[in-house]
């Protein structure tokens, strides 16, 4: 039963998944073209050149894949309400828990694929050239991978929660995409409103809040979907 539901969810979300596949692979190509035009490419050994390419590409790929999680999670539940196919599923035997579980499997699968592939590339880069820090130099101005994980979880959590409660995937996806920026803006506004000292680490608070809010949103979305009777 569950495999049929997963097949259906993958098929319904084919477009977000294709966009996700593009955002997963394209950064490697872009980084590849960019890095080959940099001086370090000429100076590097073959191993270190590949290490730079894979580590930098992996970092950019993870950055670019965050919208995929927002688009997918915002789409997963609400898209079936939008086209009313949820009504069809509503009178078929699978329980709401099972329906939701199959959607969670798809989201977790994409999350695992994004992180699994990119971390594998990082590991390969480290194995090829443990000493090279060129990749780190190139990505030093960007948030760390751990922080990207938090941002991705926030986008996915807010998208999931919205998707469980609205009848159209558009607003759910938009909320998921906007969530990191909205949280950033709210924190900045709070900082200004209460004249908080600058030495208080804004970034640490922001990136700590991301996974916490994401977990709360996932929980709220799941409970509200399971408690709801109407499709």
Partner 1 sequence: MIETTDRSPALVVEGLTRRYGAAVAVENLYLTVPRGTVLGLLGPNGAGKSTALRMIIGLLRPTSGTVRVLGLDPFQKPSQVRQQIGYVPETPQIYRWMTVLEVLRFCRALYVGWNDQQAELMLDTFQLPSSRRVRQLSKGMLAKLSLVIALAHEPQLLILDEPLSGLDPLARDEFLDGVLLGLCGGERTVIFSSHQLDEVNRLSDSVAVLHAGRLLTHCPLDELRSAKRVRAVLLDGRLPLQPPREAVWQQVNRREWSLTIYPFSHEILERLQATNPIQRIDVDDLSLDDIFKDLIRGQNLKTPLETVS
**Closer of 106 and 134 to partner 1 (Cβ):** 106
* Beta-carbon count within 10 A of 14 CB: 9
Tokens of 171: 């607003």
Cβ neighbours for 76, distance < 8 A, ≥ 6 positions apart: 9, 13, 103, 106, 107, 160, 163
CB of 145 vs partner 1, minimal distance in Å: 36
**Closer of 87 and 137 to partner 1 (Cβ):** 87
CB of 160 vs partner 1, minimal distance in Å: 22
Interface ranges with partner 1 (CB under 8 A): 1, 3-5, 7-8, 11-12, 83-88, 90-96, 229-231
The alpha helices in the chain, defined as continuous H runs, are 2-12, 14-35, 39-43, 46-76, 78-82, 85-90, 96-128, 134-138, 145-165, 169-193, 202-227
CB of 79 vs partner 1, minimal distance in Å: 11
Cβ neighbours for 139, distance < 8 A, ≥ 6 positions apart: 55, 56, 59, 60
**Closer of 95 and 112 to partner 1 (Cβ):** 95
**Closer of 89 and 117 to partner 1 (Cβ):** 89
CB of 69 vs partner 1, minimal distance in Å: 23
Closest CA to 165 of 217, 223, 224, 101: 224
**Closer of 5 and 134 to partner 1 (Cβ):** 5
CB of 217 vs partner 1, minimal distance in Å: 25
CB of 80 vs partner 1, minimal distance in Å: 9
**Closer of 84 and 136 to partner 1 (Cβ):** 84
Closest CA to 207 of 179, 174, 177, 184: 184
Q: What are phi and psi of 139, to 5 degrees?
A: -110, 15
* SS3 call for 169: helix
């Amino acid at each position: 039963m569950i495999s049929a539901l997963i097949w259906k969810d993958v098929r319904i979300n084919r477009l977000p998944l294709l966009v996700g596949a593009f955002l997963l692979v394209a950064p490697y190509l872009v980084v590849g073209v960019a890095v080959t035009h940099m001086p370090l490419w000429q100076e590097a050994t073959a191993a270190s050149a590949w290490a730079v390419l894979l580590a930098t590409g992996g970092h950019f790929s993870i950055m670019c894949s965050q919208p995929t999680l927002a688009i997918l999670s915002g789409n997963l539940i609400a898209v079936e309400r939008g086209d009313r196919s949820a009504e069809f599923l509503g009178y078929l035997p699978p329980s709401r828990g099972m329906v939701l579980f199959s959607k969670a499997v798809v989201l977790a699968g994409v999350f695992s694929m994004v992180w699994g592939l990119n971390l594998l590339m990082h590991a390969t880069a480290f194995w090829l050239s443990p000493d090279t820090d060129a990749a780190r130099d190139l990505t030093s101005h960007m948030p760390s991978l751990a922080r990207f994980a938090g941002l991705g979880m926030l986008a996915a959590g807010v998208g999931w929660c919205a998707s469980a409660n609205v009848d159209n995937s558009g607003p759910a996806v938009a909320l998921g995409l906007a969530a990191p920026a909205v949280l950033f803006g709210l924190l900045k506004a709070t900082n200004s409103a209460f004249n908080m000292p600058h030495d208080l680490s804004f970034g640490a608070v922001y990136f700590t809040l991301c996974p916490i809010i994401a977990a709360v949103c996932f929980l709220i979305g799941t409970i509200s979907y399971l408690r709801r009777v109407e499709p």
